[in-house]
């Protein structure tokens, strides 16, 4: 097409839009294109009108994202999935798709990721939503809140950030459905390797794919696994609001996902050993890890997570410590990085009061149970003895 034209025209068009190949690439390429062409404009018209499947514009869908969405739906054993530019974009879209709007009520777990808490405590109430916070481990109280408030939806986490509470999701889902409420579960900490919310009736399974699914700390993203019908609602929302995951990020995430089960196995084995070691250390007063017999929902966790894995996330309280001692401890760590994320191959530590839960007031944090001596640890896949040695040395430094 560009042959015989001016160099200005040839530079723009040469080499593009070659014939359809007769081979299949083994791994999904990055479809780094915004628009898609069809021989016949009728096809474009049909796709815009939702009368046939296809791609028209990357905010509406992109083949690299579709590959990731299919993989996520398969892992979570859901019908369909939609990817987002971040976990928070996915959380926000799930609330909208669940029908949360002005005049409606919403139930949220107290103990959720800080930005999710802020959406529920500030953003949505400002838009006229009545939000009720609950302790998800108190099923009696929760049942009363459901019947008193008749919410449109409830949002909670499989393993909560940062206190590692484990709610009885199958029972909570039944209670919610009895009053017609949709259930949104953020499965970021558990991943489908531990627990598959959709199999327990949950309506929207949300992920920050930035964490375990991507797994390497190099790509931000989010996803929702749900029914085909709910995906159509979410698709209409993303077409209007954007917040899409770029195809390059989708490709990186798909690449990370392939080793999710292998990585999770190592995260979980390491975390169990680290949690047991921390529990026996004189400088540690409390360890929150669902795999420990001392965890208040240990029996429930054993039932919900049949593989016998309890995740890679631990939080613990340092004895006689406040912000200053915790900072000295975190700075003394050499292998474990004080980075504001989790679920990477690297071991990472974080001070929730400073970062993930900073937007909460001191009173809100106290109410949730996030104390000033609480440290969160994302146990990586390094050799576990090296992780423990690092912790031991840093704890010695503050003793």
Ligand X SMILES: Cc1ncc(COP(=O)(O)O)c(C=O)c1O
* 239 given a catalytic annotation: no
* 59 given a catalytic annotation: yes
* 211 given a catalytic annotation: yes
- Kindly tell me which of 185 and 292 has the beta carbon lying closer to ligand X: 185
- Kindly tell me which of 87 and 247 has the beta carbon lying closer to ligand X: 87
Q: Which stretch binds ligand X (CB under 6 A): 8-16, 47-55, 85-93, 239-247?
A: 85-93
| Contact flag: residue 157 with ligand X (CB under 6 A) | yes
- Kindly tell me which of 161 and 230 has the beta carbon lying closer to ligand X: 161
Chain residues 196-235 in contact with ligand X, contact rule CB under 6 A: 208, 210, 220, 222
Cα–Cα distance between 391 and 143 in angstroms, integer? 41
Exactly one of 47, 71, 88, 224 binds ligand X (CB under 6 A); which one?
Answer: 88
Burial class (CB in 10 A: 0-12, 13-18, 19+), 219: buried
Closest C-alpha to 196, from 363, 74, 102, 337 = 74
| Contact flag: residue 47 with ligand X (CB under 6 A) | no
User: Nearest approach, Cβ of 263 to ligand X (angstroms)?
Assistant: 17
| Contact flag: residue 113 with ligand X (CB under 6 A) | yes
User: Nearest approach, Cβ of 185 to ligand X (angstroms)?
Assistant: 10
Strands, E, within 15-158: which ranges? 80-84, 105-109, 130-134, 153-157
Decide: helix, strand or coil at residue 29: coil
Cα–Cα distance between 205 and 197 in angstroms, integer? 6
What the block records as the tokens of 368 is 């949730």
Exactly one of 61, 78, 87, 243 binds ligand X (CB under 6 A); which one?
Answer: 87
| Contact flag: residue 312 with ligand X (CB under 6 A) | no
Exactly one of 149, 188, 226, 378 binds ligand X (CB under 6 A); which one?
Answer: 188
Q: Output the CA torsion 306→312→313→316 (10° steps).
A: 100
User: Nearest approach, Cβ of 187 to ligand X (angstroms)?
Assistant: 9
Answer for the pair 319, 353: CB distance below 8 angstroms, yes or no: no
Name 49's Cβ contacts closer than 8 Å, sequence gap at least 6: none
Cite the active site residues.
Answer: 59, 113, 186, 211
């Amino acid at each position: 097409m560009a042959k015989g034209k001016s160099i200005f025209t040839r530079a723009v068009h040469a080499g593009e839009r070659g014939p359809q190949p007769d081979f299949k690439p083994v791994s999904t390429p990055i479809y780094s294109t915004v628009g898609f062409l069809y021989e016949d404009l009728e096809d474009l018209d049909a796709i815009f009108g939702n009368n046939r499947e296809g791609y028209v514009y990357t905010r509406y869908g992109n083949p690299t994202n579709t590959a990731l969405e299919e993989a996520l739906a398969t892992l979570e054993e859901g019908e369909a999935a939609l990817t987002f530019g971040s976990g928070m974009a996915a959380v926000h879209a799930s609330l909208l798709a669940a029908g949360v709007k002005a005049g409606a009520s919403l139930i949220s777990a107290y103990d959720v990721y800080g930005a999710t808490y802020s959406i529920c405590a500030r953003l949505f109430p400002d838009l006229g939503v009545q939000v009720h916070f609950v302790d998800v481990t108190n099923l009696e109280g929760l049942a009363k809140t459901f019947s008193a408030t008749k919410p449109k939806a409830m949002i909670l986490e499989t393993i909560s950030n940062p206190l590692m509470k484990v709610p009885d999701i199958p029972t909570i889902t039944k209670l919610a459905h009895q009053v017609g409420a949709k259930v949104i579960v953020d499965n970021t900490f558990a991943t489908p390797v531990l627990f598959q919310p959709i199999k327990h009736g949950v309506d929207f399974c949300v992920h920050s794919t930035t964490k375990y699914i991507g797994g390497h700390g190099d790509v931000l993203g989010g996803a929702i696994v749900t029914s085909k019908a709910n995906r159509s609602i979410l698709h209409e929302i993303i077409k209007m609001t954007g917040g899409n995951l770029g195809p390059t990020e989708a490709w990186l995430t798909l690449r990370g996902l392939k080793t999710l089960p292998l990585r999770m196995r190592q995260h979980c084995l390491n975390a169990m050993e680290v949690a047991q070691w921390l529990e026996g250390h004189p400088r540690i007063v409390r360890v929150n890890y669902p795999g420990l017999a001392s965890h208040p929902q240990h029996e429930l966790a054993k039932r919900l997570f049949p593989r016998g894995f309890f995740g890679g996330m631990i939080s613990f309280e340092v004895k006689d410590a406040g912000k200053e001692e915790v900072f000295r401890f975190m700075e003394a760590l050499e292998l474990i990085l004080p980075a504001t994320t989790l679920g990477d191959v690297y071991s990472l530590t974080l001070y929730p009061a400073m970062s993930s839960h900073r937007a909460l007031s001191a009173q809100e944090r106290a109410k949730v149970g996030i104390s000033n001596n609480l440290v969160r640890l994302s146990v990586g896949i390094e050799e576990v003895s090296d992780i423990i040695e690092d912790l031991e040395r840093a704890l010695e430094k503050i003793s």
